[in-house]
């Protein structure tokens, strides 16, 4: 199936990243859908990665159509000019907005770097789980996942930072086979034209179905 294009012009292309896909080949992702290869073949031109989403995550993902544009977009990311918003389903009740200001350890250097995430609760399910908007103000690896674990509200389905018995409960009860994390919206400056862009991507069907089933669930929960 062709990748879903959320935006496409001569300078950049934005896709709806399928879960379990990766931007480019990585160790441990053998057999995964390689987006830079498939998107380049789909468009018939070279494509340049700009950022990443976790392998199990879905949603808004940006590629550049030239190395020059990729460099401009990468600079915007470093300067925190992008505004990202994710949807995540978390363990526990989050009654109020949270400001999580806690350093995250970088995998390559093992150094702790400053990291800030804003969390806004949207809906509570079964008095046990909260759907939230997560807005990272910095761009550390696994930042949202680590921050939500840090405040004792791990993301459902997160095998690294979550709780195994809860993840198994969601898999067995609601057939949820991946982490409930979706890049819903991105605001960025167009790299060539003088305008601010907003790219949105609705929650995919399997995650919407999980919420619908959870809302109707009458049995025991963990």
Domains and CATH numbers, the chain: 5-216 (3.30.2350.10)
Give the pair of three-digit tokens for residue 118. 């804003």
Active-site position among 54, 76, 158, 189: 54
Tokens read off for 12: 């950049």
Q: Mark whether 54 is an active-site residue.
A: yes
Cβ distance 34 to 22 under 8 Å?
yes
What pLDDT shows up at residue 28? 67
As a whole number of angstroms, the distance between CA 147 and CA 124 comes to 19
Residues 107-132, buried b or exposed e (16+ Cβ, 10 A)? eeeeeeeebbbbbebeeebeeebbbb
Q: Is the pLDDT of residue 182 over 80?
A: yes
Least reliable range by pLDDT among 7-21, 71-85, 98-112, 193-207: 98-112
**Could you count the other beta carbons within 10 Å of the beta carbon of residue 186?**
23
Radius of gyration in angstroms for the set of CA atoms belonging to the chain, rounded to a whole number: 18
Residues 78-136: pLDDT tens digits? Answer: 999 999 999 999 999 999 999 999 999 887 777 899 999 999 999 999 999 999 999 99
Give the pLDDT score at 184: 98
Ranking 18-27, 106-115, 159-168 by mean pLDDT, the lowest is: 106-115
pLDDT (average), residues 136-164: 95
Where helices occur in the chain by DSSP H, the ranges are 35-43, 67-78, 143-150, 164-174, 205-216
| SS (HEC) of 47-100 | CEECCCCCCCCEEEEEEECCHHHHHHHHHHHHCCCCEEEEEEEEECCCCCCEEE
Q: What does the pLDDT read at residue 31?
A: 79
**Confidence at residue 109, expressed as pLDDT on a 0 to 100 scale:** 75
Share of the chain above pLDDT 70, in %: 100
């Amino acid at each position: 199936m062709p990748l879903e294009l959320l935006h496409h012009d001569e300078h950049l292309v934005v896709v709806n990243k399928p879960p379990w896909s990766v931007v480019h080949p990585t160790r441990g992702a053998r057999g995964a859908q390689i987006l830079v290869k498939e998107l380049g073949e789909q468009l018939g031109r070279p494509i340049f990665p700009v950022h990443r989403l976790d392998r199990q995550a879905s949603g808004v993902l940006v590629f550049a159509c030239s190395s020059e544009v990729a460099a401009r977009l990468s600079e915007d990311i470093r300067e925190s000019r992008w505004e990202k918003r994710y949807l995540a389903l978390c363990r526990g009740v989050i009654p109020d907005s949270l400001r999580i200001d806690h350093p995250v350890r970088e995998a390559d250097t093992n150094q702790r770097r400053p990291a800030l995430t804003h969390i806004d609760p949207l809906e509570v399910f079964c008095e046990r789980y909260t759907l939230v908007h997560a807005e990272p103000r910095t761009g550390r690896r696994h930042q949202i996942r680590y921050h939500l674990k840090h405040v004792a509200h791990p993301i459902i389905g997160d095998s690294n930072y979550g709780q195994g018995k809860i993840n198994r409960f969601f898999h067995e009860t609601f057939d949820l086979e991946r982490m409930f994390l979706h890049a819903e919206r991105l605001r960025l400056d167009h790299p060539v034209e003088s305008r601010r862009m907003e790219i949105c991507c609705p929650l995919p069907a399997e995650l919407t179905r999980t919420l619908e089933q959870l809302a109707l669930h009458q049995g025991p929960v963990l």
